[in-house]
Amino acid sequence: MREQALRGTAMRKNDLKMGAKPLRQTTALDLMERAVVFFKKETKCDAILSCMVNGNFGSVPVVDDEMRLIGIVSEYDLLDALLTGVDVTNLSAEEIMKHPHAVSIDCPALEIGRFIQQNHLIRLPVVDRDNRLVGMVARRDLLNGYLEELLGPSCF
């Protein structure tokens, strides 16, 4: 099964534009990446591994048929499986995924930053009120938001 991405525009690099809004007034909705690679629980881990290495990200959300967030697979989980000698071609996402931490679309940016730092995370899924995956927010998104606040959007 191939990876899938949510429809929308990725907010990376030059696309991040908060306007005159200071970082402390932004939310996950303002900062999140909308084009998110995600997988279903049946997906084999070799496909996830390939996607993560080629996409250069350290975790991917796992969703059900209604796009509700049900888990997350990280580089740590995959490496742990490999080091224990498990054949990842026969291992599904469901077998190694962890309970996901997530933030709501209206979660304040500084709260997201504190949570990421306290839990040593790189990125977090963003969910709507029905726990449906709508995006991802990363440490870099927060740092880009702060940089834009300092230097202005024209500097990107």
Q: Judge contact between 142 and 113, C-beta under 8 A.
A: yes
State the pairing for strand pair 69-74/59-63: antiparallel
More confident residue, 1 or 147: 147
Structural domains in the chain plus CATH codes: 6-151 (3.10.580.10)
d(CA 33, CA 104): 13
Non-local CB neighbours of 86 within 8 Å, separated by 6+ positions? none
pLDDT beyond 70 at 123 = yes
pLDDT for res 19:
56
Structure pTM? Answer: 0.83
* Measured distance between the N- and C-terminal CA atoms of the chain, rounded to whole angstroms: 37
| pLDDT tens string 1-57 | 445 555 433 334 334 455 557 888 999 999 999 999 999 999 999 999 999 999 998
What whole-number distance in Å separates Cα of residue 6 and Cα of residue 88?
A: 25
| Under 8 Å between Cβ of 78 and 132 | no
**137 contacts 124 by C-beta, under 8 angstroms:** yes
Nearest to 59 by CA among 142, 140, 138, 115: 138
Helical residues (DSSP H) of 18-138, grouped into ranges: 28-31, 45-55, 75-83, 93-96, 109-118
Mean pLDDT to the nearest integer, 72-91: 94
